[in-house]
Amino acid sequence: MTTFDKLYIGGAWVASDSSKTIEVIDSITEEVMATVPEGTASDAARAVQAAKAAFGSWAATPAEERAKFLTRIGDALGARMDEIATAISKETGMAKWLSEFVQVGLPINSFNQAAALASSYQFEEPSGTSLIVREPIGVVACITPWNYPLHQIAAKVAYALGAGCTVVVKPSEVAPIDAFILADIINEVGLPAGVFNLVSGTGPEVGEALANDADVDMVSFTGSTRAGRRVSQLGAETVKKVALELGGKSANVLLDDLDEAAFAKAVGDGIGKAFLNSGQTCSALTRMLVPRDRMAEAEAIAAGAVAGLKVGDPFAAGTHLGPLASAAQRDRVQGYIQKGIDEGATLVAGGLGKPEGVDVGFYVRPTVFSNVSRDMTIAQEEIFGPVLSILPYDDEEDAVSIANGVVYGLAGGVWSGDKDHAIAVAKRLRTGQVEVNGGAFNANAPFGGYKQSGNGREYGKFGFEEFLEIKSLQL
């Protein structure tokens, strides 16, 4: 077991004001793998003051110099890829081979892209008789989730630092180890004291303290819609900027012009997109919309695809799906599977209980429901596990109506034999990102949601600009 006994505040490892600790549970063995400090509101306040004190000099540091720090951080993450991926696979359950590519590779990309943007971005531009200046917003509180822990930290921290902001990070208590490794790296590369601060703890204690602190200029939050509402409420007290990346219930629309081979490809791809990270993905395509007369075809393909998935130890060769991140998450997903059965959906694959061959670990069976109506609980609420709902539709208007008929709007997919047709339908979906015919995820494209999936965007130029204020000088 690893013990992290200090917080990172003001460029130094310091003791928390509390002696309490949080146990980090290995999702595979269900045993304690580490402990971290259970930080307090006073710890959060100290970190904010450190970030505030560092802001002026960091904002005045030439962007090219800030970029050099970001590049060094990215390089150091790469050097510790195995260590970080191993920790995250134990925390979240993601297969180790995928953790290296996603859980560490994407954060490296964020630091490198933020460095490139900081070096090339035009912070000033003339507009008529004015000079438009973009300046760092100030102290940013970064509150992050457990499903892609380092990726979500990097999406905020890298771009905020590149823009000239200083940060306080509150990682998820379920998966905080990568945040401590990142702090260690930042300490080693010599980032000026107070520019980056880390306070572990719970949302109600540390998270709320940060959102409510008058010296925090912006909160960047990723997590549940319920928690995002609370962050917004607290942030409104001081009228600070709040950027939110929240839940999703994304639709994958298979149009009726797909031939047999393309339809099979679309269903198979959709299974993978729904079950990525054992379904613990906010942008997972968890609703598959299929022409009513092709439901049986979709069910057969889906059942075959699920039968071919290997569920088990994330460190074993060939594993597709590991456990969920916690006992609470496992129980939550089991509850939704029971709800699907109770409300009359057709169980195509999976179901209640653990997969065969695993006795320990927070595992659930990858599950597919069919004949799901748009008003069923499993068609409306985010499950955050490997559960796919297949919904029938009657025509294209019906498909678009069903796709848009949830409170969320984070991601989506459209498949068609005619790419232009797919694009036209994609433009009708009220959602922040849409895959067209299985288009690959672009880590530098803007990512964020409509409706109750949040506001603001992350990654690339749009993510960089989230951390900038706009000032106009009248000349």
Active site (catalytic) residues: 245, 282
Return d(Cα 14, Cα 8) in angstroms, integer: 6
| Residues shown for the chain | 475
Tokens 């009248």 found at: 474
Q: Give the 3-state secondary structure of 46-67.
A: HHHHHHHHHHHHHHHCCHHHHH
Q: What is the CA radius of gyration of the chain?
A: 22
Give the alpha-carbon dihedral of 439, 444, 445, 446, to 10 degrees. Answer: 140
Q: Locate all alpha helices (DSSP H) within 314-428, ordered by sequence.
A: 327-342, 377-380, 396-403, 419-426
Instruction: Of 371, 353, 237, give the one whose Cα is nearest residue 302.
Output: 371
Q: Locate all alpha helices (DSSP H) within 121-224, ordered by sequence.
A: 149-163, 177-189, 208-212
Return d(Cα 454, Cα 198) in angstroms, integer: 24
Tokens 């979240």 found at: 92
Beta-bridge partner residues of 464: none
Token pair recorded at residue 351 = 């179901």
For residue 82, what is the DSSP state?
A: H
Return d(Cα 246, Cα 409) in angstroms, integer: 10
What contacts 261, CB < 8 A, 6 or more positions away?
none
**CA dihedral sign of residues 349, 354, 359, 361:** positive
Token pair recorded at residue 292 = 């009513």
